[in-house]
Each structure stands twice: as C-alpha cells, then as structure tokens.
Amino acid sequence: MKVLGRYRLVRVLGSGAFATVWLAEDPDLEAGVALKVLADNWSTNADVRERFLAEARLLRRVDDPRVVRVFDVGVSEDDRPYFVMEYVPGGTLADRMDALTTREALAYGAQAARALHVLHEAGVVHRDVKPSNLLVDDRTDPPRLVVSDLGSAKVLAEASGLTVTTGTPLYMAPEQAHQTDGFDARADVYAVAAVTYHLLAGRPAFSDATAAAVLVRRPDSRPAPLAASLGQPASMDHLLGRALSWNPDKRPATAADLAAELERLLSEEPSPRTHREVPTVAVLVVCLVLFLAVFTGTYLWLTP
C-alpha cells in the first residue's frame, strides 16, 4: 500500500500481531500523522474489528495531551479499518532508555504515572504499560511523554468479549498474570513502577522475562535495592518496593499518588549520573587496590 484514503504512507513506525502503525502524510493539512491499520488476517474477525475501532473511539474521548490523539477513522479499499493519530516525532521511551540520567528516569516515570491517571479517571485500565507504548515528544523542553496503544485496555477487552490474558510479562502485575477477578488500576501502578525501575537500573526489576516467571514469582519477592548506587535516598527503594508489591493494597493507591512520590524524589536533587556509570569513588578504590597489589608484588620479587 502507498495510500490509505487521502493519506500517503511513508514508512512503518511499528507493527504487532493485530496492526501496523505507519508514518503518513496528510496532504490537506500538510502534516505528518501516525496511521494505524488492522492486519489483513484479522480484518474479517468481527470481535477484533470492534476492539480496534473501540480503541480509536476511546482515544478520541480522552482529550488530554498526555494521551495520543485520534483525528480520523476510515476503511481501506481491501476493507481494513484504520485510524489516524497525532505523530509524536521523538520515538518511544524504549529507544532511549539505555542513556538516561537518574533524574530523567524518575521524571519519565512520574510523567507516565500522571498520564495513566488520566486514563484511570476515564475508567480505563491500560494493561500493557511498557517503554515501547510510551511516546516521547522531543519538540518540548522537557520532552513530553505520551501514552499510546490502548488495544489491550480493560474496557475494550470486555466490550469485545475477549478474555485472553494480555500484557508484557516484564511489567505485568501478578494479579493480571494470574487473571485474578476484579483487578483494577493498581495493576497499571505496578507496571509504571516496573518501567521506572528498568529505566533507573538498566535491567528489569525481576530478571526472567517469561510469563512463567510472573506466574510462579514468590509473593515476598522484592527488587534489588538501587538507591545507594544511584546517589538516592533510601526512600526510593521503599517506594519502588511498595509499588512492586505482590499485594495491590500495599501499592500507592493511585497512579497520581505514585507520580507525586516520584516527583518528591526529583525535588531532592538526585545525582545526574546514568545508571550505566560506576561511582567515581568506587573506581578510585579499585585503582588503588590494584596499584598496591602490583607494588607489593614487585617489591617482594625484587627484595632478596
């Protein structure tokens, strides 16, 4: 395809099992847009079509700059539905998560929590919060984080009659993985905390990325502490430990509460080092130990 409706397709931005997202040009507005089109093999499935269009309607209804906006819907010549969204030019958070400072990681975590709270206020649980579903608008200073991809949102799945487990194991709350009845917005609170931990540490909170790891994880599992290595107060580990609790009742009650606590950490002027850097003092100690070892060995070898 080169054209859908009035939109000229430029290149693929991303694809999944159900749909592909294209960068496209709107010739009438002379602007770039993101166009999401349902995969051909799902186009005849009435439930999936309804779920796809419900996502567009929901995005259109949630009118907030922290949630990607929908401008138009249509159907291709080969009978595939599509919808047109704002194009966020900075890529996804997954594209830049390996080079963040501690402060940037905390700020992005707080922004993600604020954005999820907007959805929760609209009665929606995202259910698939992950770095690749968080867009970064680098036209603003600081960059604006935008939530996208509501195809797995709780209300959409219920409306379409689909009951499959959905989400990404690295960031999935235990109650969601176990398909516990009545799980709520605190599953997204867990996911945002898991994303924030990954941004800070450069590794997931829990190492095994398989779905089985989520299902068998012990209720008393806790992520490895980070605060000391990042020059942060111990309250950071306490916050992440609570937010990643097996028990939803022990997590911050809302995504807004999690955001406020992350912002409080930001106000304490965290260290600017990246999570990949080794603290300078540690480097000096290692060098000193090596020097002393070499010096002592040489002295003993030369001494009669």
Q: Tell me, what's the pLDDT at 244?
A: 95
Q: Tell me, what's the pLDDT at 81?
A: 96
Give pTM, 2 decimals.
Answer: 0.83
Walk me through the domains of the chain, giving residue ranges and CATH numbers.
3-86 (3.30.200.20), 93-266 (1.10.510.10)
Q: Tell me, what's the pLDDT at 151?
A: 84
Closest to 105 measured CA to CA, from 190, 172, 233, 197: 197
Tokens of 51: 């779920």
220 included as an active-site residue: no
**CA 304 – CA 18 distance, rounded (Å):** 77
**CA 260 – CA 114 distance, rounded (Å):** 9
CB neighbours of residue 178 within 10 Å: 13
Annotated active-site residue in 26, 128, 149, 237: 128
Q: What is the pLDDT of residues 173-226, one digit of tens each?
A: 988 887 756 678 999 999 999 999 999 999 999 875 444 455 556 677 789 999
Q: What is the pLDDT of residues 284-303, one digit of tens each?
A: 444 444 445 444 444 444 45
24 pairs with which residues across the strands?
9, 33
